[in-house]
Structure 1
Amino acid sequence: MPAMTTPNLTRPPDGEVIAIMVVWNGLLFLPEGVASVLRELRPQDDLLIVENGSTDGSAEWLHQHYPDIAVLQTGHNLGGAGGFNAGMTAALRCPRCRYVWLLDNDIIVESGALPPLLNQLAHQPNAAAAGSQICLYQQPDTVQEIGALLSPWLGALQQRGAGGPRQSPEQPPAPVDYLAACSLLIRADVLRAIGLFPDFFIYYDDVEWSQRAGRAGWTLWAVPASVIRHHFSGLKPAAAWREYYRKRNRTVFLTLYPPRYGHQWALFVYLIHLHRLILHTHWCGHTVFHQTYAAALQDALNGQLGARALLPSPQLTCLPDLLQTCAMVWIDLPGQPGDAQLLARLLQSSTPAIPCQIIDAAQPQNPAPAACPAAIVGENYRLHTARRAARVYRYRDGHFTPLRHPVRDLIITQMLNGLALLVAMFRAIPDFQRLRTRYRQRQKPLIPD
């Protein structure tokens, strides 16, 4: 087991099931989340809060409202992976601990969520873990995911039930390739045998652990009868830190766990994609994201995991003055739904009298009008927008730039994208070889000592 001191542990956790909730600036969600977990735990169970260096008063609130709860104060943000590892290390010191229940702090545990997970592990001796049906907090009848499978060619996560109706508790548990640490019950003996989460800080830590458990001969089960609700939005604005950890950790993950049919070609294809992003953002002047993608690849190549100091994400500046007088504004940001929603909210709050429309090719039933006074576009946008909008502004790194010749700029952008793809194919070859050499037979060092 990885050794870790716990100098700021208020008391050792003690229970057959020890629920572990990692908190970082989550005061908004704490009252409902903690109360729902405590209602679900049995008298022989316990709750451990890992306070990950919050600055929003979370630690003070816990001390005031739940002075008897076991709280581990890490002193700084260890990320989701580091926070869970700190909690699991403390929990596994308890001789009575048979299971750890990993929980996000922005969740509500519905009544009766724990027994189906315990029953599944009791009836499946080779099961390493069982996970809940995760539904949306604001839409409890809509599924976020019920476990996930990994595509056999490219190793992409295929979330089960995502966006669909809530499944009945009578639906039987299903074997899966991955369970999210949003609500994940794990056998303590499995953790002692195969180790804790990798040193990924955030993103792909639970994916890697799930695959490690599967390679060790254990199974994972998604249990629809166990339900939690999660404050989740898939429409988040682009952030440099999110892009860094996703790209770095996925690169390492594909190196270690090639998919069943795609084998190492999946890694090669992903490296081409990553090199294309690096080149295209550089040529188009996306300074922040160019440096982010380059750092993600370089750190994966060097085996530099854990937390990393990053450039700040772009901050949205004020809207151009000319938009204040438009009769209508299009927002055309393909592949950037979070940024499109953010811009739409800003427009509606600053100029509520001016209608705006997000142009979405995925919704042909809501096509763009024939013409529009103004449009906000991303790096890629549609020819219809370039030709029909009287004024076009490019949104890049939080700033707006007027485009005098949007059709010409679109053609140049697409040509640069194609050239970046061609160059990326050649640049990916040496990196593919370096990654395979560095991580060959080196799964264990990913687990922090």
Structure 2
Amino acid sequence: MPINNIYIIVLNWNGAADTITCLDSLVRLKGPQANIIVCDNHSSDGSYTIIKDFIIDSVRNRQKDWHGFHFFEFKENAYLSESALETGGRFVGLVRTDENLGFAGGVNIGIRIALRDPTMKYIWILNNDTVVDKNALFALVEKMNSNPEIGVCGSTLLYYERPTVIQAVGGIYNAWLGTTRHVLGQQNYAAELCQSIDAFNLDYLVGASLFVRREMLERVGLLPEDYFLYCEELDWFHRMKRIAPEFKLGYAPESLVYHKEGASTGANDLGRKTYSYFADYFYMTSRLKFSKRYFPYRYWLVRLATLGLGINRLRRHQFRSFVLAIFLVIGWVPRAFIPTHT
């Protein structure tokens, strides 16, 4: 049986074009081989079929860079088949959920499949709206192998539209206001600058690229699924620090990942050019949920601070989000303001 002990999990929701571009970059990775699992989160735009046809065509017609890959279609609760594990090479798997499970729920489907492979050592969780540098995976593996204390390792996230500008290398959480701050966010990329960051001082890594050690998963468990969108990784890392303090956050500066931020939700903070009430709703409610869970004595301050978010939305003429913020401060949200998950 071949030892393909790295799995890459890519979550898709109504974003076939982005997912295909991401896959094209993944098959060009240098260094260790990896299996890829694409989890389609109950897309409504035909994404599953589009992605499936693309993978099959690339594999069967031996498109450049796809040599050695095999295609497997999984059911949501299916075990990895012996044929998948005994291919003698890498595989690209595709699974479709029965409903939109949110970010954590969709990713966890792929994690569960990967965990059924006893040889699996690392899982790389990637947003589908990313394109990776050819050395990105190699840098992550080197970092993890150099320090067994690292439970999760992050990449240098650069804006896809402005590849010389840093989106984040991780971040800091302000428990008094319930706000996050991306470290090095909006600064010009420089290798020396990124190498100066001590990941042990970070509160979180950005979920667009998370490289996870199996032992951390077995100790801490899967991503929390009750957020649906936003704060999942913040909760995960906070839980890790509480119940498995032997694990730390890590950061591989040489692992470069280009992120089309917000493409999967319809929101993009690059210049605040687009707006998505769907994304805004979960951004506001998730930060309150996290605060109430881990910092209950500061929850009321965070709830009051939501008013500041509302005023900010009012300035942008995002009136529905402004009214939502008022309702959240009051503590009651009408059903009409709660978006569906489809």
1:225 match? 254
Alpha-carbon distance change, 18 to 172 in structure 1, aligned in 2, over 3 angstroms: farther
Paired residue type of 1:273: A
**Of 22, 29, 45, the match for 1:56:** 45
Deviation at 1:65, TM superposition (A): 2.0
8 Å CA contact retained: 2:307, 2:329:
no
8 Å CA contact retained: 1:133, 1:225:
yes
8 Å CA contact retained: 2:31, 2:137:
no
Q: Secondary structure at the match of 1:54?
A: coil
The answer to whether residue 229 in structure 2 is matched with residue 202 in structure 1 is yes
Alpha-carbon distance change, 128 to 288 in structure 1, aligned in 2, over 3 angstroms: closer
Deviation at 1:73, TM superposition (A): 0.5
8 Å CA contact retained: 2:150, 2:248:
yes
The answer to whether residue 219 in structure 2 is matched with residue 187 in structure 1 is no
**Of 182, 198, 209, the match for 1:174:** 198
Paired residue type of 1:39: R
Moved more, 17-26 or 123-132: 123-132
**Of 278, 281, 292, the match for 1:255:** 292
**Of 294, 318, 341, the match for 2:327:** 294
Q: Secondary structure at the match of 1:87?
A: helix
Return the alpha-carbon distance in structure 1 between the equivalents of residues 127 and 255 of structure 2: 15
**Of 5, 9, 24, the match for 1:35:** 24
TM-superposition CA deviations, 1:247-270 (whole Å, max 9, x none): 221112112333xxxx833x2211
Return the alpha-carbon distance in structure 1 between the equivalents of residues 330 and 100 of structure 2: 23
2:66 match? none
Select the structure with the greater relative contact order (CA < 8 A; seq sep ≥ 6). Answer: 2
Deviation at 1:41, TM superposition (A): 6.6
- Aligned positions of 1:276-355 closer than 5 A: 290=323, 294=327, 310=339
The answer to whether residue 305 in structure 2 is matched with residue 273 in structure 1 is yes
- Aligned positions of 1:103-182 closer than 5 A: 103-151=126-174, 153-168=176-191, 171=195, 174-175=198-199, 176-182=202-208
8 Å CA contact retained: 1:15, 1:44:
yes
Deviation at 1:115, TM superposition (A): 1.5
Q: Secondary structure at the match of 2:251?
A: strand
Return the alpha-carbon distance in structure 2 between the equivalents of residues 183 and 311 of structure 1: 26
Paired residue type of 1:174: D
Paired residue type of 1:210: F
Deviation at 1:276, TM superposition (A): 7.8
2:14 match? 25
8 Å CA contact retained: 1:22, 1:52:
yes
1:340 match? none
Return the alpha-carbon distance in structure 2 between the equivalents of residues 238 and 54 of structure 1: 21
8 Å CA contact retained: 2:157, 2:257:
yes
1:332 match? none
1:45 match? 34
TM-score, normalised to structure 2, is 0.74
Q: Secondary structure at the match of 1:39?
A: coil
Moved over 6 A (4+): 275-279
Rg (Cα) greater in structure? 1
TM-superposition CA deviations, 1:174-202 (whole Å, max 9, x none): 21210112111001121121111112111
The answer to whether residue 116 in structure 2 is matched with residue 84 in structure 1 is no
Deviation at 1:298, TM superposition (A): 5.1
TM-superposition CA deviations, 1:56-114 (whole Å, max 9, x none): 33212222121312111113322211111111111111111111100000110011001
2:96 match? 73
Alpha-carbon distance change, 297 to 237 in structure 1, aligned in 2, over 3 angstroms: farther
Deviation at 1:28, TM superposition (A): 2.3
Return the alpha-carbon distance in structure 2 between the equivalents of residues 40 and 52 of structure 1: 25
Paired residue type of 2:279: R
Q: Secondary structure at the match of 1:134?
A: strand
Q: Secondary structure at the match of 2:254?
A: strand
Q: Secondary structure at the match of 1:28?
A: helix
1:214 match? 241
Deviation at 1:130, TM superposition (A): 0.5
Return the alpha-carbon distance in structure 2 between the equivalents of residues 42 and 119 of structure 1: 10
Q: Secondary structure at the match of 2:100?
A: coil
Return the alpha-carbon distance in structure 2 between the equivalents of residues 109 and 222 of structure 1: 16
Q: Secondary structure at the match of 1:29?
A: helix
- Percent sequence identity over matched residues? 26
Alpha-carbon distance change, 296 to 237 in structure 1, aligned in 2, over 3 angstroms: farther
Q: Secondary structure at the match of 1:264?
A: helix
Paired residue type of 2:114: A
Paired residue type of 1:253: F
Alpha-carbon distance change, 225 to 62 in structure 1, aligned in 2, over 3 angstroms: same
Question: Number of aligned pairs?
Answer: 286
Paired residue type of 1:30: T
8 Å CA contact retained: 1:277, 1:290:
no
TM-superposition CA deviations, 1:291-349 (whole Å, max 9, x none): 5763797589xxxxxxx95279xxxxxxxxxxxxxxxxxxxxxxxxxxxxxxxxxxxxx
Paired residue type of 1:271: R
Paired residue type of 2:195: Q
Deviation at 1:152, TM superposition (A): 6.1
2:61 match? none
8 Å CA contact retained: 1:15, 1:94:
no
TM-superposition CA deviations, 1:211-247 (whole Å, max 9, x none): 1112231211222111010112311544332222112
8 Å CA contact retained: 1:20, 1:88:
yes
Return the alpha-carbon distance in structure 2 between the equivalents of residues 77 and 298 of structure 1: 26
8 Å CA contact retained: 1:50, 1:84:
yes
Q: Secondary structure at the match of 1:117?
A: helix
Paired residue type of 2:14: N
Return the alpha-carbon distance in structure 2 between the equivalents of residues 41 and 58 of structure 1: 28
What is the root-mean-square deviation of aligned Cα atoms in Å? 3.2
